Structure 1
Amino acid sequence: MAIGFGLLVAIVLQLLPFYITVTTALKPRSDLSSQWVLPGDEWYWQNFTTAVDRGHILGAIGNSALVTLVSTLLVCALGALAAYPLARRTSVTNRLVMVGIVGLIMVPPLSILVPLYTMMNQLQAVNTYWGTILVMVATQLPLAIFLYASFMRGLPLSIEEAAAVDGASPVQILFRVVFPMLKPVTATVVILTSVAVWNEYALSVYLMRSPDMRTIAPAIGTFFASSGSDLGAAAAASLMSVVPVLAVYLVLQRYFIKGMVAGAEK
């Protein structure tokens, strides 16, 4: 009974921000009623139109989708390839490399913003898709390598040895034997990486300064200014931006749960 009540409280607390976002998105700026109260008889849909017309939110969603998709694919591919030798070859050098990777996970991205922006500006990578993707991959790759390596250590080595006895080359073993067993942890990496890249604001606001190149988080930020904020349009844009991420999670939630459980067991 106590566990069920605790879960109910946790669910309510998680849904409260979403509820307030919905009530805010359905009210005009002239409505000064409490955000806890739903709008009256007529719901104000103009905020969604404002988000599309003035905030160019659909274009921002497209930019975020492109950056997120390419970044996630690269993180998964590079993370799995880098983690395999670290997981299978137990040497002092590999242990030191893993310690360095764990250390990189704990480095806040904002702490390297100034040198990062200077370097990207010198490379003429500001306001480019490839520059932003490169930065996103670099910031998300350490966690992906750590997750893949931890998962691979729990995989039975006998399967790879049997494939080698059957005549499979190391490359064939990697792509035909090892990679198919990485579906649970890959789903975890996909969700963690895609959500992190999709919601990235601090780096994106400096790397994508052109209005046509903005991703979703900086685009929502344009509704907030020192002279006044349009909370309704910002809430509407937030609701529109959460739909793609929610769809991806619903598709991969089964693998996500398996990956989290497998990671905990290992």
Structure 2
Amino acid sequence: MKNSSSTVAWTKIAVLFVCLLLFVFPFLLLLVNSFKENKAITSSPLSLPESFSMTNYLDAFGKMDYVSAFTNSIIITVLSVLLISLLAAMTAHYFVRHQTKFNQYTFFLMVAAMIIPFQAIMIPLVKIYGSIGFLDSKWALIYMYIGFGSPLAVFIYHGFVKSIPAELEEAALIDGCTRTQTFFRIVFPVLTPTTVTIAILNVLWIWNDFLLPSLVLIAPDERTLPLSTFYFFGTYTVDYGPLMAGLMLTILPVLIVYLFAQKYIIQGVMQGSIK
């Protein structure tokens, strides 16, 4: 019996280790090739580099205008995630506490909007907003991210707000709180696990997004990090070495944030699952 349970345990460990290798392998391949020259990458992409030179990283840092692109990505991601989380939580709370026919239909329309693929509306989107001069600005991109990210966030918040007893808010109102104070002091703190989950999903989406910024941002000084990697693609050639290094520089900030915030991320996800 003990041997059987030990075998099962080792089998699980082996399966998990294989899964780990499958997930980590693309990242390791990218890291290794970021130190190679183009010829070495194309001829033997799986081999280790002969020497760990930082030439590719220095080249990528300069060509990408990394500081400017990083600043744009930070501004767009942080503001978009904050506004999506706040506005979606307020909207979901209003829908739950005021269940009129209009609010119910509006909520169903927002949920239905999630099934519409972005590729189906991107041409009308660019044509309409381009005609009024609303493109080529990070603020226009933030506005669009709020629109595209809010339906899913409202849907997730809606289910959690329904689990919050209305008596908590009534007690706060009796004690003298306004409705705004009740939301920010009672409701929003209770929604912290949900907010963490939504923030994770939106940070990964917005930071790594390429398609929407490529349609909206035209000026080089407005480009985000994913867009800046496009500098290494020529008409007939690809500068693989600096490209790999540029991709590593794009991924690195998210990895650093995760390493420092993993405690709070895991805690938020666990609390959300318990709720």
- Compared CA separation, residues 262 and 101, structure 1 to 2 (3 A): farther
1:38 aligns with 2:41: no
Alignment check: 8 A CA contact 1:125 1:132 kept = no
Aligned match of 1:149: 158
- The offset of 1:55, in angstroms, is 2.5
Q: 1:55 aligns with which of 64, 84, 99?
A: 64
- The offset of 1:92, in angstroms, is 4.1
- The offset of 1:224, in angstroms, is 2.2
- The offset of 1:200, in angstroms, is 1.1
1:180 aligns with 2:228: no
Moved more, 191-200 or 118-127: 118-127
Aligned match of 1:9: 18
Kindly provide the amino acid, as one letter, of the partner of residue 34 in structure 1.
S
Deviations 1:87-128 (A, max 9, x none): 333444433323222221222222211111112212312221
Please say which structure displays the higher CA radius of gyration: 2
Alignment check: 8 A CA contact 1:120 1:131 kept = no
1:169 aligns with 2:178: yes
- The offset of 1:138, in angstroms, is 1.1
Counterparts of 1:156 and 1:102 in 2: how far apart (Å)? Answer: 24
Moved more, 245-254 or 146-155: 245-254
- Compared CA separation, residues 90 and 10, structure 1 to 2 (3 A): farther
Aligned match of 1:124: 133
Counterparts of 2:142 and 2:269 in 1: how far apart (Å)? Answer: 26
Kindly provide the amino acid, as one letter, of the partner of residue 153 in structure 2.
A
- The offset of 1:255, in angstroms, is 3.8
Counterparts of 2:120 and 2:185 in 1: how far apart (Å)? Answer: 40
Moved more, 196-205 or 23-32: 23-32
Counterparts of 1:262 and 1:218 in 2: how far apart (Å)? Answer: 36
- The offset of 1:219, in angstroms, is 1.0
Counterparts of 1:159 and 1:9 in 2: how far apart (Å)? Answer: 48
Percent identity, aligned pairs only, is 30
Aligned match of 2:119: 110
1:134 aligns with 2:143: yes
CA RMSD of aligned residues (A): 2.0
1:230 aligns with 2:239: yes
Counterparts of 1:241 and 1:75 in 2: how far apart (Å)? Answer: 23
Q: 3-state DSSP class of the match of 1:203? A: helix
- Compared CA separation, residues 137 and 73, structure 1 to 2 (3 A): same
Moved more, 154-163 or 72-81: 154-163
Alignment check: 8 A CA contact 2:193 2:272 kept = no
- The offset of 1:228, in angstroms, is 0.5
Counterparts of 1:141 and 1:258 in 2: how far apart (Å)? Answer: 24
Moved more, 228-237 or 97-106: 97-106
Alignment check: 8 A CA contact 1:223 1:233 kept = yes
Count matched residues: 265
Aligned pairs for 1:71-110 (under 5 A) are: 71-110=80-119
